[in-house]
Amino acid sequence: DIQMTQSPSSLSASIGDRVTITCRASQSSSTYLNWYQHIPGKAPKLLIHAASSLESGVPSRFSGSGSGTEFTLTISNLQPEDFATYYCQQSYSTPLTFGGGTKVEIK
């Protein structure tokens, strides 16, 4: 099984900040890496698939990069609606696995 490790597990940031979240895979997942935003009480939302492809309708301040075992999600110019928990997920092999999540809080 591919284990996904996210860091940090939480962070505090201010409106307008640039935030970077890292996701590491225990073995290569090529670019089969996806990012989700989850706000409590709502369904998770797919932000980025294939490591760097932005989903339609997702603001361009979100970006993803990486391949193999190390990936990053960057949010530039953090907005109030971006305070949420973010998860990475590998889709390279079953069992499909998620990272533990990164909670982005308001400083």
Partner 1 sequence: QVQLVESGGGLVKPGGALRLSCAASGFTFSDYYMNWIRQAPGKGLEWVSCISSSGNLIYYADSVKGRFTISRDNAKNSLYLQMNSLRAEDTAVYYCARPPAGYSKHFQLWGQGTLVTVSS
Six-digit token pair at 52? 């760097």
User: Which CB atom, from 72 or from 91, has the smaller least distance to partner 1?
Assistant: 91
CB 82 within 8 A of CB 17: no
Does 29 bind partner 1 (CB under 8 A)? Our answer is no
How far is it, in rounded angstroms, from Cα 30 to Cα 41? 32
Q: Does 68 bind partner 1 (CB under 8 A)?
A: no
Please report whether residue 37 would count as binding partner 1 according to CB under 8 A: no
Q: Does 57 bind partner 1 (CB under 8 A)?
A: no
Residues whose CB falls within 8 Å of the CB of residue 9, separated by 6 or more in sequence, listed in order? 100, 101, 102, 103
Residues engaged in binding partner 1 (CB under 8 A): 1, 32, 34, 36, 38, 42-46, 49, 55, 85, 87, 89, 91, 94-101
